[in-house]
Chain A
């Protein structure tokens, strides 16, 4: 409890000093939603299933004050209403959903950041503190901020989100170091908040993360992260710990008259003192030329197979024991194409898209779970058609606070004085 209180007090004191400038409050509203139709072959049992859903419905409000030294990042996610049973996505898992991507919590982000708190006192360095509910400084960008609509299988290995987190960061030239304390429990349903304390034991602060980011040249970003997450899948805290690594290289910038995005990532999560080890490699890229945006992702990720409930897309939650039925390896290729254009004086971006995934699932080692029996085949295919609609959301990278915020105001483009 001391850590969040102390962080908040320091933040308030420093910002009180900074407030002398008394600059106006800036605000930025943004939104996104993606109506899409997805067909998957196979679902559990070997059937083909298609669904029409609205995914990633977001409302964002970003506020800046005190010359943008104080930032409030708020994201409301309505997936609890639009996809309460999750989004069809073979291979995806987490938070009790299997082969469906789980809905996020309604309050996806609510983070208060103090940026460059020491001003000129620390020279060129930029020190920041952030507290609230949001992304932990670990791993890569939230998949919602990336070109493929489909979430990667490695979502729960490469991002840690929707936690009560207190983080500090410092940026010195091209080097950014971040560290955080947070609660290890992951959400179980959209309306749930992080568990701060369970009976006499604090969950807030039982987990930590470190991330080091290097910006060696313009448009290139290298990142390495380490985290210990205590009992992520057992909310009261009796579960095993997860020790996580994530390393990535990212490029986003111009190449000739086009814009190119690329990401290569390696992640590893160990649980139960190394009894379970899950690996992931992922590479994805997008090429934007005019209205056209083809993109591609390759992923090979291992995931746990857990006992499912009467609903084959759900697993027992929480686990009853530290046991799983097996580990499967998902090797997937995702290819997509989007045609982007803007309306409303560039505020509304629309991108009709078609996206397909194909690949296979196999066992890492023989176990009780037989994927070929469960799915009827080893091959996996899915096809999605939809429209990505974004209002005032150009280039936003979700989950970046404090030291990772750019020099400019909260979010890009327009902001309105309040």
Chain B
């Protein structure tokens, strides 16, 4: 459209200039043939000819100059001389851009002539996927987005009215329609509906002369969680963080609605039979208000939990002399902080066990504690890296010598704490990047390594406001292929609910997210992730029903999904089926 307006403007200017020619009243160059042609871009036009006349008639021997004033392309020869009949000619070749082309023929002392030609797209040369690739959908249902291609000529001009043939190359299902026509922008789309068989689907779109493109889609069966055991088994307190290991589960508590009953208890559950949790023992920690995070080391030898809200707030370390039998070994109380430690993540770096803890205000920091002497009652601070007082750090994820720090509105920090790529260590963390984004309220995350060896995605939980009944906040999918510049590429949103802690089944590529009042949701995270993940939802459940669900955390263990719910206790759920 801009090109056409430009052409019109030039034509108007050109004509205005001609009228200024003082000789125009007595002599002119006028088109004789070749006017108003339409042809494909890049092609030669039928020859142009003009007649030069003055008051006495045709004038021979006049040199006529030819030039392209709009639209590219060319005209040859650049000059020609009128014959006895006053006629001169030239041949133009259109440019490569669709739109008007204007050629001007001028002769000194004569008003000029203008030839206007319309250049249209050439034959289809290329076809490309425009939208709808790599989607997920439920079997028996249509894909959320239409499949769309864009067809262009050899010069990348959109080709309208091209016929596109759609076909299911693999995986079944139906296309409607199977033949479409491109619009003025060269785009064309169709709708795909899965058949009854789940799995990968390939859909081709072909245009004669342009080739074929293949869309990928995946049909998934809508599945369901089932409550296998548990529920309504934590009284007077709220059940919060959890860890399951070696046949036992450990859950933390927050204060409930009973004054004087604090969240100072770690509940120890024995998993009996097919994994049903049965309360086995507990740890009561004096002078703390809440057990804010809990974890068992990978070797099963250590249990560590962080605490908040009391004079005893800090890090507590127990040795698991046998599964389910923790023996207190060491603690460190956070001095100077009015609240304590919000979370702690156990990880082994260079053969030494560390706890990567989030220090609450004041003095927000990534606290790394060396637990190598915990058996002797000693916890050593390896380092403390300050984080701005912007609601501090909420969680950390440690893997492969890197620590991902989720720091609320400060966003995401990535440190090398022992990988070696940037020379970092637990005693000297080296910051690789700091990104303020991902919706703010950056709370937790999981760096996903898929079975193919890709380490591309970091899933980040945004913890928006919640009021104990409703919550808010999305899952953000961040491409961390380049640690120095993480980029958000996708998201998952659940209406009127907010996400909290994650667990990922990397083998089967399923993300489990605790979703507060939304319960537990399972998402398929295989393949390439872009945009909304709504169609990747496999299953969800509110274990406590609509009015008693506020799920804090979730973990997959030995074929069951364990969920800790602030309103309704500790559950064993089935995997989605």
Contacts and interface: CB of A to CB of B under 8 A. Distances in A.
Interface in B533-577: 547, 550, 566-567
Mostly, the A contact residues are loop
Contacts of A199: 388
Interface stretch (A208-216, A291-299, A303-311): A303-311
A317 interface: yes
A375 to B, nearest CB: 8
B297 to A, nearest CB: 26
A44 interface: yes
B259 interface: yes
B339 interface: yes
B269 interface: no
Interface string A117-129: 0000000000000
A156 interface: no
Contacts of B262: 310
Interface in B377-430: 388-392, 394, 408-409
Contact of A309 (B309, B467, B567): B309
Contacts of B464: 272, 275, 322
A366 B287 CA distance: 29
B468 interface: yes
A305 B464 CA distance: 17
A310 B313 CA distance: 11
B310 interface: yes
A302 B550 CA distance: 22
Contacts of B255: 307-308
A290 interface: no
Nearest to A372: B257
Contact of B468 (A45, A320, A368): A368
Interface in B448-469: 463-469
Contacts of B472: 275
Which range contains the number of A residues in contact with the other chain? 35 or more
Nearest to B516: A323
B389 A323 contact: no
Nearest to B389: A236
A192 B477 CA distance: 42
Interface in B223-281: 238, 254-260, 262
B285 to A, nearest CB: 12
Contacts of B338: 317
A253 B99 CA distance: 82
A172 interface: no
Contacts of B476: none
Nearest to B260: A45
B342 interface: yes
Given A310-B262, A373-B257, A367 B469 contact: yes
A236 B388 CA distance: 9
B441 interface: yes
A371 B441 CA distance: 29
Nearest to B410: A238
B131 to A, nearest CB: 31
Nearest to A188: B338
A367 to B, nearest CB: 3
A326 B517 CA distance: 13
A367 B467 contact: yes
B360 interface: yes
B310 A323 contact: no
A332 B259 CA distance: 22
B74 interface: no
A365 B238 CA distance: 18
Interface string B484-522: 000000000000000000000000000000000000000
A239 B287 CA distance: 27
A323 B258 contact: no
A321 B469 contact: no
A53 interface: no
Contacts of B409: 238
A316 B310 contact: no
A318 B361 contact: yes
Nearest to A42: B259
A369 interface: yes
B132 interface: no
B466 A323 contact: yes
Contact of B390 (A238, A307, A309, A317): A238
Given A45-B259, A316-B289, 17 more contacts: A199-B388, A236-B389, A238-B390, A272-B464, A276-B465, A307-B255, A307-B290, A320-B342, A321-B443, A323-B467, A324-B467, A327-B467, A365-B467, A365-B470, A366-B547, A373-B256, A374-B258
29 contacts: A236-B389, A238-B409, A271-B465, A272-B465, A275-B467, A275-B472, A307-B289, A307-B290, A307-B309, A309-B310, A310-B310, A310-B311, A318-B391, A319-B391, A320-B342, A321-B394, A322-B441, A323-B463, A323-B467, A323-B468, A325-B467, A326-B467, A365-B469, A367-B468, A367-B469, A373-B256, A373-B257, A374-B258, A374-B259
Interface of A: 44-45, 198-199, 234, 236, 238-240, 271-272, 275-276, 304-305, 307-310, 312, 316-327, 365-371, 373-374
